A and B are shown apart, each in its own frame.
Chain A
Amino acid sequence: SQQGEEDPQALSIQEGENATMNCSYKTSINNLQWYRQNSGRGLVHLILIRSNEREKHSGRLRVTLDTSKKSSSLLITASRAADTASYFCASSITGANSKLTFGKGITLSVRP
């Protein structure tokens, strides 16, 4: 079964609004990462948060991690049409070397 599960599966918002995406995982992790995928293209790494961190920012991105609930959220503020893409969380499982386990992804549509 998937280590990471994103929620919601799809999200449609108006340009300028904030987009919040959630991810839950099952086992102990080293870190959790978020990736973006434009239609049919390769995934691009957005941000990484370590297991001992609770919040991290990068530009318009804010990611939080709650290890007690085994969950993370990605917030994109002031969304733009260009943010339209699929977003994936990926967990680096403790003791699993470099393996990242991906969720199924969230499709974000930002309407102009």
Chain B
Amino acid sequence: EAQVTQNPRYLITVTGKKLTVTCSQNMNHEYMSWYRQDPGLGLRQIYYSMNVEVTDKGDVPEGYKVSRKEKRNFPLILESPSPNQTSLYFCASSPGQAGSPLHFGNGTRLTVT
């Protein structure tokens, strides 16, 4: 089944404790992206990757890192999480042509205390 898989689904952590949210897709998609969703703010793009070893900042990249060492994986790293990073995070992928529809994972709900 074609899917984008994120883990974990829920995560509670404390300020400053490094964490990684994994994302993997099995559709051989070139484009991958991370979004955060907050009430009243909609979805905002954090980082995206056009292909392996190619990543770029989205609209709200501060406090996040990503890597794209393999085509299928695009982990999101929070080196020193803060409470304002409490949010619902989504990974998404697409074949890569401009404006292709995105396939979304089921989300990771992160709480930073």
Contacts and interface: CB of A to CB of B under 8 A. Distances in A.
Interface of A: 2, 30-31, 33, 35, 40-45, 48, 88, 90, 92, 96-105
A99 B40 CA distance: 21
A98 B42 contact: no
B45 A42 contact: no
Interface in B10-50: 31, 33, 35, 40-45, 48, 50
21 contacts: A30-B99, A31-B99, A33-B101, A35-B102, A41-B106, A41-B107, A42-B107, A43-B90, A43-B102, A45-B102, A48-B99, A96-B98, A97-B98, A98-B97, A98-B99, A100-B99, A100-B102, A102-B35, A102-B44, A103-B42, A105-B42
B96 interface: yes
Given A43-B43, A92-B98, A102-B44, 12 more contacts: A33-B99, A41-B107, A42-B107, A44-B104, A88-B42, A97-B50, A99-B33, A99-B48, A99-B58, A102-B42, A102-B43, A103-B42
B100 to A, nearest CB: 6
A40 B107 contact: yes
B65 interface: no
Contacts of A2: 42
3 shortest A-B CB distances, which residue pairs?
A: A92-B99, A42-B104, A104-B42
A29 B33 CA distance: 19
B105 interface: yes
Interface string B33-76: 10100001111110010100000001000000000000000000
Contacts of A105: 42
A98 B94 contact: yes
Nearest to B4: A42
Contacts of B48: 98-99
